Structure 1
C-alpha cells in the first residue's frame, strides 16, 4: 500500500487512558496498579474505557481498529476528533496535540482535518442528497457554486449520479451509506474516521461498499481509521490492524501477522473462523522456489537437473518463465541431441501465479496441476512455488506452520 513505515507517523496515540465516571483521575491509579476492568467496576462504579493505548498511524494507510462490543474501539475513535476527552494521554496529529486545542481551534480541526462516517449514516433528512454531501464545505464557508460542484463530483465518484435532488428517506441503506461516504470525502479532510460504517448494511451491499472503499483508496490515498467488529472486514480493508479487548490493545500488525501469529486465545478465537482463502496471499504461504533451468542446450539442462533434488524444473529464458521441464522428458532424449536448444514441445504448461494473488483465486490452477505452480513477483521473476499440499495446509484450521 501507499504508506512508508520509515517516515514519521501522521498520528501518534500515546499512553491514552479513558475512565468513565466522576472520579476518573482517582480511579486511574487503580488501573495503573493493574486492577482489572471488572474489579474496578465492582469497587468504584467506574468503567475503564481505554487503558494505556499506544498507536502509530501512517499517512495513506487504512488502519483498522477491531474488537467485540465493549472493547473500547468506538471510545478510541471518538478521541481522535475529541468527541470524548481522555482521562490522560495525548493524540498528536502531525505536530498538533489534539488535547491542547481550544474550542475554536477544535472546531476548525474537525472541519478541515478529519471527517467521520457513522454506522447509521447520520444524514439530514430535510436536505437533499446534494445538500447533504456539500454540507461540510458550505459550513466551511464555500460559495454555493463551489460546494455544489464538488458535491456533484463526489456523488459521481460513489456512483450516485442522478440522485442529487432525492431525499435520504427515498434511498436504500447502501445508497445512504454512499451519501455518507461522499459527504465525508467532500470536505477534503486528510483523515477519514469510519465507525462501523458498513455494519448496518446487508452482506452483499457491505461487500460492494468494501470494494468501493478499496478502489477509492487506490486513487485518494487518504488516511483512514476504520472501526469494525468483523475480522473478515478488517483483513480485507486493513493495511494494519489493532485488536482491542476490555480497553487494552492486545495485538497490532499486518493482517497476515495476526492471522498466522495470533497473540493470545482471544485473538486466536477471532482468527479461527476466518475465510483464510480470502485473507492470505500467495506470498504468505508459498515455499522457496524450486529448481530453475536456464540452460540453452538440452545437455546443459540435463546437467542442471542432475544437480537438483526435484524431478522437474521451471524453465526460464530471456523472456522469463516459459513452463515446466521434467527429468523424465530430459532422460528420454538421445545424447546425440544434447547440443540442440530446448524447444517449447519439451515443456509442460504450468500456469504462473503472482505473489499478491489471494489464495481463493489460485485454488483451481493449483488443484489442476501435477506440479507446484511457480510464483512470480512484479518483475516477472520466479520467487517461490505453491503446491497442493501447501495450499491445503494453509487453508486448514490449524495455524499455518511457521516458515
Structure 2
C-alpha cells in the first residue's frame, strides 16, 4: 500500500524565494516589494481577508499569473516550473471524465502510465473508494473537492500550493483530509491559503498574515511539533487565539 514514502525522495525539496514582488491593476496596487522565503520542506499557512491578494500571490508562485515586478525562484536557484502541484479554490474537475480519470489526469496528459495503486489509496483516504467510475455531476460539492485534493496529491510534486482546499468539507471529513495532507506532504514544501485559524494551526509550521493596502506580510507565528496537531493542543489553542486577535485588529 502506498504511504508517505511514495512521495519524492532523495534530494530535499526546493524552497521558494519570492523577491520584491509587485502586482498592480491600473492605478490599484495589490502588493509591492513583497518578500517571502519558504525553506525546503516547510509547511506555511497564509491567512488574510478576502480580496487582499492571497490567491494572486499563489497563482504567481505557481506560474499561472505574471507579476508587475519581482521574481519567484526555487531556493536552489532553478525555476519552479514542473515541480509544483497546484490546487485552486474551485475543483475544476472535467465533467466528461470520471473520478479516477480526473485524479490521474496529469499523468495521462503527460503520456505516462497511471499508478492505479496510488490512485486507489488516495481515493480510499479521501472517502471516495468505490466511486471512482462516477462523473462529477453525481458527486456532492464536498466529494468533488475531495477528488480535487486526491488529484493534487496524486502528482507527488516536491512543491504543493493549495488555495482553501478543505473549505467545502464538513468538520469530520475536513479533519480526516487535513490529517492525510499532513502525512503525505511531510517531504514537500507546501503553501496553504486558509481562512480557518484552527486549520492553519493544525497544519502550518509558520503562520503568516497578509494584510493592508497595499498588502504586506506580517511577522510569522511559528509552531513547534509535527502536524497534524490535535485541535486541543495547548499551543494550537493559544496560536489560534492569537491569529483571531490579529485578524480582527487588522480588519476593524
Counterpart in 2 of 1:124?
A: 94
Contact 1:67 1:243 in 2 (8 A): yes
Matches within 5 A, 1:178-189: 178-189=146-157
With over 3 angstroms needed to count, the CA separation of the structure-2 counterparts of 1:17 and 1:161, relative to structure 1, is same
Q: Partners of 1:118 and 1:248 in 2: how far apart? A: 22
With over 3 angstroms needed to count, the CA separation of the structure-2 counterparts of 1:278 and 1:240, relative to structure 1, is same
Counterpart in 2 of 1:163?
A: 131
Counterpart in 1 of 2:42?
A: 61
User: Which structure would you say has the larger Rg?
Assistant: 1
Q: Deviations over 1:202-231 (max 9, x none)?
A: 3443333323322333xx522221001222
Contact 1:64 1:240 in 2 (8 A): yes
Within the candidate set 196, 201, 204, 1:235 is matched to: 201
Counterpart in 1 of 2:70?
A: 89
Counterpart in 1 of 2:232?
A: 278
Contact 1:134 1:183 in 2 (8 A): yes
Contact 1:137 1:186 in 2 (8 A): no
- Which structure is richer in relative contact order (CA contacts within 8 A, separation 6 or more)? 2
How many aligned positions are there? 223
The reply to whether residue 138 of structure 1 matches residue 119 of structure 2 is: no
Counterpart in 2 of 1:222?
A: 188
Counterpart in 1 of 2:84?
A: 114
TM-score (normalizing by structure 2): 0.77
Q: CA deviation at 1:130?
A: 0.6
Q: Which runs of 5+ in 2 are unaligned?
A: 1-11, 225-230, 247-252
Contact 1:192 1:224 in 2 (8 A): yes
TM-score (normalizing by structure 1): 0.50
Q: Partners of 2:188 and 2:14 in 1: how far apart? A: 14
Q: CA deviation at 1:142?
A: 0.6
Q: Partners of 1:159 and 1:59 in 2: how far apart? A: 30
Q: Partners of 2:23 and 2:220 in 1: how far apart? A: 20
Q: CA deviation at 1:186?
A: 1.6
Q: CA deviation at 1:9?
A: 6.5
With over 3 angstroms needed to count, the CA separation of the structure-2 counterparts of 1:81 and 1:398, relative to structure 1, is closer
Q: Partners of 1:149 and 1:141 in 2: how far apart? A: 18
The reply to whether residue 15 of structure 1 matches residue 20 of structure 2 is: yes
Q: Partners of 2:40 and 2:140 in 1: how far apart? A: 33
Q: Which runs of 5+ in 1 are unaligned?
A: 1-6, 22-45, 99-108, 257-276, 282-357, 361-393
Within the candidate set 125, 132, 140, 1:172 is matched to: 140
Structure (1 or 2) with the greater helix fraction:
1
With over 3 angstroms needed to count, the CA separation of the structure-2 counterparts of 1:398 and 1:89, relative to structure 1, is closer
Q: Partners of 2:145 and 2:202 in 1: how far apart? A: 19
